[in-house]
Chains A and B, each alone.
Chain A
Amino acid sequence: MTDIAVPTRFERPSALSFLGYAAGIMIFLWALNGAGFSMEKALSSPPRFADFAARAFPPNLAPDVLERLGWKMVETLQIAFAGAATGIVLSLPMALLAARGLIFGPVVNTVTRTGLGFIRAVPDIAWALVFVVAVGLGPFAGTLAIMIDTIGFCGRFFADDMEAVDKGPSEGLTATGARKLDIAACATLPASAPAFVSTALFALEKAVRSSTILGLVGAGGIGIELKVGFDLFDYPTAMTVILMIAVVVILIEALSTWVRQKIIGEQR
């Protein structure tokens, strides 16, 4: 019989991690302070909220309003799908440039990743403002904003997906003397396909959510109705818009979960 050392269940946290926790709590308190957190305002909000709810209910369900909002919703979804789809397609080359150790060297990787980081750092609503200036008011500006936002998101995560796949198959092809582009196409891309589907569906969900508020800055979609409703104190119509957005976003998320399971789950 040899003595087998059974490992301890928990490791004793080091002095450094204690410091880390303490710093975390300090930062949280400091942030609450800066965010103007006030118990007073928080406690006085329920009555005001109830007042808004009383004025907003029942939501405006007049057929002509519903029809107008319905068409606006269709436009919103068109913006989301068109922007997300073009963005996803354009993300692929960006991801090939950004993936480390795949085709290009560290300089290209870093430049591309920095560019993608910049795209993500600018909020979608800010992109919409920029494109409204560039191409004028309307849904096209919104579509471009969604597209660029999707490139920032998918370009980075497609690249991460490709870096994370099992290196075995690409080593197998390296051993045959294949070129880097051939290896990426034959080993890395097929292996990343399920992760790509998942990322692309997330991008679509995100696009639907963003597209509903682009109208606030005149970049098309149902958001304009929300703004008009609040500006004119037409709270029942605004409430209809909010409920409509909620229903559509929830439906899209359910649909995307179902598709994801159909495409990825089926292979087990």
Chain B
Amino acid sequence: MCARCIPTRATRSSTISSVTDLRTTEPAPTLAPERAGAPCEPVLNPLQDHDISARALGKSFGKTQIFSEVSFRLARGEAVALVGANGTGKSTLLRCLLGLIPMDHGTVELLGQDISQLSTQELRRMRASTGLVAQKHNLVPRLSVLSNVIHGLLGQFSGPRYWSQSFAPQDAREAAMAALDKVGLAHLALRRADRLSGGQSQRVAIARALVSRPRLLIADEPCASLDPSAGEDIMAMFFELVRREGMTVIFTSHHLEHALTYGDRVLGLAGGRLELDATAASLSASDLRGLYD
């Protein structure tokens, strides 16, 4: 199993060690405001190189079992695609990884810590170093785009100043604008979130997930509402972050080319089981299509 976890792209392995060194430096307990948007991760054991290890996960809603016996691991700096037909439980699985909904069976270790053992505070800190792009975007409808993106920093900074862009510290606003610029929406910063098109709102959700510069990104169909060229841009941006900053990414997609191009590895859910766990290089689109039968 572990053999599959080794990152396939050799160039990436070399960057990972240097990034790890950076990340083992002790983060200041209280961060000065001018560090908004700077990486803020818990201390990590350099030997502990799996960002996610899921063991024998099982989840049912009521009597309906969604999946069971799902085990996989993500090495640091790896990009993994999760594919499967509608309703196979991809979104449910990703929400379980962050502890947003409870699992019925199994354990999840996130950044080396079992999330079921963490205190509320520790779980919050863990989530602060991950980013989630939810399938339904989950923006706050009545607030501005910029406020929504600044909320991405709430894991690191708390309090009324971060509730609205109007009162946010200058560096937080700058970090948020930089994230918005990355997704090409800087010109809509003051637009209300419920007046965006589907693709714009998806891009804001991506900016919110990236503004805190997470070391682990969980993206649920990040390109579902995007036009083909924007979709390529976003995936290329994720990939760039993976390569440059050693970010770990797990994303779902119904776009098989995306899964094969941008994933180092592909996980396939079908019939409530993890039916596929293979390197992207060893797969072809027709292999993946088998999952949908």
Q: In the docked arrangement, what's the CA distance between A171 and B159, Å?
A: 18
Q: In the docked arrangement, what's the CA distance between A181 and B120, Å?
A: 14
Contact B140 A175 (CB under 8 A): no
Q: Which of A131-139, A185-193, A207-215, A220-228 contacts B (4 or more CB under 8 A)?
A: A185-193
Contact A176 B163 (CB under 8 A): no
Closest Cβ–Cβ distance, residue B182 to chain A (whole Å): 17
| Central interface residue in A168, A176, A178, by most chain B CB within 10 Å | A176
Residues of B131-156 at the interface with A, using a CB-CB cut-off of 8 Å, are: 131-132, 134, 136-143, 147, 151-156
Closest Cβ–Cβ distance, residue A170 to chain B (whole Å): 8
Q: In the docked arrangement, what's the CA distance between A176 and B155, Å?
A: 5
Contact B134 A186 (CB under 8 A): no
Contact of B140 among A169, A177, A179, A181 (CB under 8 A): A169
Contact B163 A179 (CB under 8 A): no
Q: In the docked arrangement, what's the CA distance between A222 and B14, Å?
A: 83
| Central interface residue in B129, B138, B163, B208, by most chain A CB within 10 Å | B138
Chain A contacts for B159, CB-based, 8 A: 182
Q: In the docked arrangement, what's the CA distance between A111 and B219, Å?
A: 40
Closest Cβ–Cβ distance, residue A110 to chain B (whole Å): 21
Which residue from chain B places its CB closest to the CB of A192 in the assembled complex? Answer: B142
Q: In the docked arrangement, what's the CA distance between A168 and B123, Å?
A: 19
Contact B127 A182 (CB under 8 A): no
Residue A172 lies at the interface, judged by CB distance under 8 Å to chain B? yes
In the complex where A176-B151, A179-B154 touch, is A171 in contact with B134 (Cβ < 8 A)? yes
Chain B contact-residue range equals: 35 or more
Residue A173 lies at the interface, judged by CB distance under 8 Å to chain B? yes
Q: In the docked arrangement, what's the CA distance between A168 and B158, Å?
A: 20
Mask: chain B, 90-132; 1 = CB below 8 Å from A; 0 = not:
0000010010100000000000000000000001111111111
Contact A169 B155 (CB under 8 A): no
Contact B142 A193 (CB under 8 A): yes
Residue B160 lies at the interface, judged by CB distance under 8 Å to chain A? yes
Contact of B127 among A168, A175, A185, A191 (CB under 8 A): A175
Contact of A190 among B98, B123, B142, B160 (CB under 8 A): B142
Contact of A182 among B158, B194, B208 (CB under 8 A): B158
Residue B212 lies at the interface, judged by CB distance under 8 Å to chain A? yes
Closest Cβ–Cβ distance, residue B280 to chain A (whole Å): 26
Chain B contacts for A176, CB-based, 8 A: 127-128, 131-132, 151-155, 208-209, 212
Residue A257 lies at the interface, judged by CB distance under 8 Å to chain B? no
Contact B127 A172 (CB under 8 A): no
6 pairs of A and B residues whose beta carbons are closest in the complex: A177-B155, A172-B138, A177-B128, A177-B127, A178-B154, A175-B132
Q: In the docked arrangement, what's the CA distance between A174 and B126, Å?
A: 11
Chain B contacts for A171, CB-based, 8 A: 95, 100, 134, 138
Closest Cβ–Cβ distance, residue B191 to chain A (whole Å): 14
Q: In the docked arrangement, what's the CA distance between A178 and B127, Å?
A: 8
Chain A contacts for B140, CB-based, 8 A: 169, 172-173, 186-187, 190-191
Q: In the docked arrangement, what's the CA distance between A182 and B130, Å?
A: 18
Chain A contacts for B194, CB-based, 8 A: 267
Q: In the docked arrangement, what's the CA distance between A245 and B121, Å?
A: 56
Q: Can you give 13 contacting A-B residue pairs, CB < 8 Å?
A: A171-B100, A171-B138, A172-B139, A174-B127, A176-B151, A176-B155, A177-B125, A177-B130, A178-B151, A179-B154, A183-B154, A185-B160, A191-B141
Contact B155 A178 (CB under 8 A): yes
Chain A contacts for B162, CB-based, 8 A: 182
Q: In the docked arrangement, what's the CA distance between A6 and B134, Å?
A: 36
Q: In the docked arrangement, what's the CA distance between A167 and B151, Å?
A: 16
Contact B151 A185 (CB under 8 A): no
Closest Cβ–Cβ distance, residue B38 to chain A (whole Å): 15
Chain B contacts for A174, CB-based, 8 A: 100, 127
Chain A contacts for B125, CB-based, 8 A: 177
Contact of B154 among A177, A190, A193 (CB under 8 A): A177
Which residue from chain B places its CB closest to the CB of A188 in the assembled complex? Answer: B140
Residues of B60-105 at the interface with A, using a CB-CB cut-off of 8 Å, are: 95, 98, 100
